[in-house]
Amino acid sequence: MRKRLVFNAVGAGLLLAAIGGGGVVVVEWALRPPRRELLPNHERTAAALAENNGADLEEVSFAAADGAVLRGWLFAPRTAAEKGVLLLHGVSDSRVGTLAYAPIFLSRGYAVLCPDARAHGRSGGERAFYGAREAEEVRGWVDLLLAKTGAKRLFGLGESMGGAILLQSLRSEDRFEALVAESAFSTLEESSFDYLGRPFGAGPWLGRTLLRGIPLAGGLYARIRYGVDLGRASAEKAVASTSVPVLLIHGLADENIPVRHSRRLQSLNPAHVQLWEVPGAGHCGALGAARAEFEERVVGWFEGKRDGGAETREGPAPDEPR
């Protein structure tokens, strides 16, 4: 009996150590995403985009609360801009990734700000926190955009992590007139369930059950080691209580962040949140899959054409918890 108790205790200890170690490894990997370097050809592309649309291009920056210097490109029309839009990229990308969206707005006279998120591109910070800190930094970008351009109307568009950060910013930033978020996660924890199940060809159930201890251990480690609560990387509470019109866009072929994330967010506030589900589009692939419709819907959303249009779905997705 004693040997069995010792064996069980050792086994439990090894299991806890494996779970804890796995949590540390996963979190450290997630908080240090690869940087996408800004190359001279990217700068030439941005300069040409500005020139072709009658705008001035400026490198802008501000210091975050922890001293990290955050940097980005500001496209300011040479004529007065009434409207401004903040474009936020996804994880392991940079401001370069948002250049695909910039012409949609520059051609319509918007001022456009394309930042590098912390720990991305040329912005400072060694770690990304998926909105747990970045959501508060949106206010700094908004201050900069409005001060430099004089824009009176403010909008935002973000993809993947950038979309989730924009949604989270609604907790403290009340100057947005409307937002668009494509392929955003509902919570970082829920996204971790997808990540943990993917190598095994399993759905999020594996992360929610057998591997549940890994994100729990990782969250505890992040709180102790870096003083950040990754549980704050959640769009759900902000979306549920907002009165800002939000258009969610999600590809039905998105295997990175499945469409159930946006379905969950839309269900929390159907009065102010609409969802456009894009057949055949993968992660952040709506612009490529349906460019004309993407432009029409996004610009229309910002211009107040919000009745009808976006498709919603009643009930949970097949892999969504009931």
User: What span, in angstroms and rounded, lies between the C-alpha atoms of 221 and 219?
Assistant: 5
In the predicted model, residues of the chain with pLDDT beneath 50 are: 5-20, 309, 312-322
Q: Both tokens of residue 174?
A: 């009340």
User: What span, in angstroms and rounded, lies between the C-alpha atoms of 124 and 110?
Assistant: 27
Q: Residue 280: which residues within 8 A CB-CB, separation 6 or more?
A: 251, 252, 253, 289
What secondary structure does DSSP assign to 75-122, as a single string? EEESSPPSEEEEEE--TT--GGGGGGTHHHHHTTT-EEEEEPPTTSTT
Q: Is the pTM of this model over 0.85?
A: yes
User: What span, in angstroms and rounded, lies between the C-alpha atoms of 100 and 57?
Assistant: 16
Q: Is 177 helix (H, G, I), strand (E, B) or coil?
A: strand
Predicted confidence at residue 305, as pLDDT, reads 80
Predicted confidence at residue 306, as pLDDT, reads 73
Count Cβ atoms below 10 Å from residue 270 Cβ, excluding itself.
Answer: 11
Closest CA to 165 of 127, 131, 128: 131
- What is the phi-psi region of residue 121: left when phi exceeds 0, alpha when psi lies from -120 to 50, beta otherwise? left
Predicted confidence at residue 69, as pLDDT, reads 98
129-165 pLDDT, tens digit each = 999 999 999 999 999 999 999 999 999 999 999 999 9
268-303 pLDDT, tens digit each = 999 999 999 999 999 999 999 999 999 999 999 999
User: What span, in angstroms and rounded, lies between the C-alpha atoms of 187 and 167?
Assistant: 11
Predicted confidence at residue 124, as pLDDT, reads 97
Confirm if 189 and 231 have CB atoms less than 8 A apart: yes
Confirm if 222 and 31 have CB atoms less than 8 A apart: yes
Predicted confidence at residue 310, as pLDDT, reads 54
Mean pLDDT for the chain overall: 90
